[in-house]
Chain A
Amino acid sequence: MLVIILGMVLGVLIGILVPYQLPTLTAKYVSVSFLAGLDSVLGGTRAGLEKKFNFAVFASGFFSNLLLAALLTWIGDRLGVEIYQAAIVTFGMRIFQNLGYIRRDLLGQPPGERSPLEDLVSSR
């Protein structure tokens, strides 16, 4: 767990200290992609904790989510429809969902057991 947190801290430091300035146009893409990537990382952590981690699934999911989120944003920009909001809602929901699983994995609750709240979220 410590490795993951250290990795995140390291990345943020690199990102802040790097002298490269992001152009305004791509800022939206990066933020949507960031959300997608965060979802993948949390999903991977959860899978790891549940001993179901598969590297190929994780890697492909991470990168395809990043690209898909950026692509959706781009298409939305072209069409004048803010499709990236769909990505934000979906990934945001899943981030909290995964976080809930991770929390309960760490606390030692059996993952098979679902709270009524969880059912409510995933059934929509």
Chain B
Amino acid sequence: MKTPASDPSGGVPPSPPAPSSPRRPTRSFGQTWQVPVAFACVILGIMGGIQFQAQSARPPVQADNTRQLLELVRTLEGERNKLSVELTETRNRMAKVEEAAGKRESVSAQMQEQLERSRIEAGLTGMRGPGITVTLADSGRSPRPEEDPYFFIVHDVDIQALVNELWAAGAEAVSVNNQRVVTRTSIRCVGPTVLVNGVRMAAPYTVKAIGPSSDLEAALRMPGGFLDSMAQLIKQGGEVKMNRSQELSIEPFDGSLIFRYGRPFEGGTKEQASNS
């Protein structure tokens, strides 16, 4: 690739003599030179054709794809909502059947009691009692170019930390925006929203916890604890509000608790000391 005129690829010999020179380093092919060139053309054509095929097969606009995915999410969410309504109805029916069974006294009173306790422990019943309500809100203003937008919004990890702290401080029931936190609850960010139990929600997040309200608040206000970890958000205009109350109610878990893979094993149950 020294100079464009004397490139070997051109088929021009490095030191080309005059075309009419009798002593040429190259053999004269007549018309046979066309054969290798045509062969190269075939290779080239295959490359071009494959490339053309690949380019035309690719979706031209990315935004189109995004819209489709959004549509899909919306459809699936609608489906999910319908199914969860169905689930609630089924639960209600089940409760009626249990009640009826209890009345017929085919199920012993003790079993009935045990069943009720299990339901409470699993978070399938609503709960009332003293507790604390924590509200987390995003900052109202938008970040300036030099500011980190991370600290302007509430993240899934913030909610996770809060819920974790509440459990550790003795909370007995916790919900995030009326989604009960149970054994299989997940809290995670998906884009600008947070999913709790697979339900999409946006700020502000209201976390309710039933338990010793003053202990709960003290735990959150502990130096180096949850409230301190939210200092950046508060500084940028976000909000963390805590309200103790004598009486608040927490919704039951209304999602699915079907086990498809796991199953209990023999002797795997630990008898709890009954403490009611």
Contacts and interface: CB of A to CB of B under 8 A. Distances in A.
B231 to A, nearest CB: 38
Given A8-B42, A11-B41, A61-B10, A55 B36 contact: yes
Nearest to A48: B33
Interface residues of B, number: 44
Contact of B1 (A10, A44, A90): A90
Interface residues of A, number: 59
Interface string A35-52: 011111101111110111
Interface in B32-49: 33-49
Nearest to B27: A54
B8 interface: yes
Given A15-B52, A22-B53, A53 B26 contact: yes
B41 A41 contact: yes
Contact of A33 (B3, B19, B47, B58): B47
B12 interface: yes
Contacts of A21: 53-54, 57
A40 B9 contact: yes
Nearest to A16: B49
B33 A47 contact: yes
Contacts of A6: 38
Nearest 4 CB-CB pairings of A with B: A15-B49, A11-B45, A43-B10, A61-B9
Interface of B: 1, 3-5, 7-13, 16, 19, 24-29, 33-55, 57-58
10 contacts: A3-B35, A15-B50, A17-B49, A22-B54, A40-B9, A41-B41, A53-B26, A60-B8, A62-B9, A94-B10
